[in-house]
Amino acid sequence: MTDSGAPFTIRDPLSPAFWDERFERQFTPWDQGGVPARVRAFVENSPAPLHCLIPGCGSAYELVHMLAHQWDATAIDFSPGAVASAQAVLGERSAHVVLADFFSYQPGAPLDLIYERAFLCAMPRTMWPQVAARWAQLLPAGAMLAGYFFFDDNAKGPPFGIAREQLVALLAPHFDCVADEAVDDSIAVFAGRERWMQWRRRTA
């Protein structure tokens, strides 16, 4: 990870240019550089390949692992810089990475899973209800929202941390929490403040 030290010119994380500037300068402190242990185990222990969407995919290392296990997985990002980074990681399977806005993207078939990693916390807090509503809209009953959730009360971001009670308030109307586990391989920006969680979509 490098950075010239010059101030960033784009300050709005709702703009693709905000993320493009950081990818162009290789300033990506949220990038783990590989597949976290818990999602690796989740994929490997799945009884069948899943149809999965990865919103705000960044470099999409997890997508490589999913595709290697025959999952029907697609990663999306609204930042051309992020998509270029992910497509470089995917190589000949780069067609599984799509430049798209999560709030308007339509999967080609019903989803089994949305994988969450640093997407919610990349969004300003005012956007969280829209994110949760879109999760609920995209996932049919019985499908899963699973991944890493960042708990913190720092007013500045991204990453924008959430309080547990806020997350429950967002998801409880449509989801049941079926797993909540500590994480022991977090990168520095998330260390000690994220948990692996699985939320099952209830019948609407």
Name which residue leads in pLDDT, 179 or 122.
179
The answer to whether the beta carbons of residues 35 and 65 sit under 8 Å apart is yes
Give the model's pLDDT for residue 29.
58
Rounded to whole angstroms, how far apart are CA atoms 79 and 57? 10
Question: Which domain covers residue 113, as residue numbers?
Answer: 42-201
Contacts of residue 12, defined as CB under 8 A and 6 or more positions apart, other chains included, come to 18
Q: In what order do the strands lie in the sheet with 51-54?
A: 97-99, 72-77, 51-54, 113-117, 144-150, 194-201, 175-182
Is the pLDDT at 3 greater than 50, yes or no?
A: no
Mean pLDDT, the chain, integer = 88
Residue 51 domain-assigned?
yes
Q: Report percent pLDDT > 70 for the chain.
A: 86
- How far apart are alpha carbons 113 and 106 in whole angstroms? 14
In angstroms, the CA 74 to CA 11 distance is: 28
- Residues 165/186, Cβ–Cβ less than 8 Å: no
Supply φ then ψ for residue 101, to 5 degrees: -95, 125
CATH number of the structural domain spanning residue 61: 3.40.50.150
* More confidently predicted of 40 and 20: 40
pLDDT tens, position by position, 160-196: 899 999 999 999 999 999 999 999 988 778 889 999 9
Encode pLDDT of 7-23 as tens digits: 767 676 766 766 667 76
- Note whether residue 167 is domain-resident: yes
Assess whether the previous peptide bond of 158 is cis (omega < 30° from 0): yes
Query: Count of domains in the chain?
Result: 1
Q: Is residue 188 part of a domain?
A: yes
**Looking at the predicted structure, is the pLDDT value of residue 33 above 70?**
no
Instruction: Judge whether residue 4 has pLDDT over 70.
Output: no
Determine, yes or no, domain membership for 10: no
Q: Which of 7-11, 58-62, 136-140 has the lowest mean pLDDT?
A: 7-11
The pLDDT value recorded for residue 156 is 79
| pLDDT at residue 108 in the model | 92
* Rounded Cα distance, 50 and 72, in Å: 6
150 has a pLDDT exceeding 50: yes
Residue 120 lies in a domain: yes
How many Å apart are CA 69 and CA 35, to the nearest integer? 13
Q: Which residue from 185, 190, 161, 177 is spatially nearest to 40, judged by alpha carbons?
A: 185
Residue 23, in any domain of the structure:
no
Q: Could you tell me which of 6, 33, 7 has the C-alpha nearest to residue 188?
A: 33
> pLDDT tens for residues 61-91?
999 999 999 999 999 998 888 899 899 999 9
